[in-house]
A = this chain, B = another copy of it.
Amino acid sequence: MTIHSAKKKTTYSISQLAKHFDITTRAIRFYEDRKLLSPERHKSHRIYRESDLVRLKLILRGKRLGFSLEEIRKTMELYDTEPNEKAQLVFVLNTISSHRKELELRQEDIRNTLDEMKTVTHRIKKKLQELDGT
> Which residues of A approach B to under 8 Å, CB–CB?
61, 64-66, 79, 82, 84, 86, 89-90, 92-93, 96-97, 99-100, 103-107, 109-110, 112-114, 117, 120-121, 124-125, 127-128, 131
Q: Which of B64, B92, B103 contacts A124 (CB 8 A)?
A: B92
Q: Is the interface of A mostly helix, strand, loop or mixed?
A: helix
Alpha-carbon distance between A107 and B64 when the two chains are bound, in angstroms: 11
Residues of chain B contacted by A90 (CB below 8 angstroms): 128
Give the distance to chain B from A9, nearest Cβ to Cβ, in Å: 25
Nearest opposing residue in chain B for A116, CB measure: B79
Cβ–Cβ contact A103 & B99, under 8 A: no
Cβ–Cβ contact B103 & A61, under 8 A: no
Sample of 18 A–B contacts (CB below 8 Å):
A64-B106, A65-B110, A82-B124, A84-B131, A86-B128, A89-B124, A89-B127, A89-B128, A93-B121, A93-B124, A93-B128, A96-B124, A99-B117, A100-B117, A103-B114, A104-B114, A107-B107, A107-B110
Alpha-carbon distance between A82 and B121 when the two chains are bound, in angstroms: 11
Which of A97, A105, A110 has most B Cβ within 10 Å?
Answer: A110
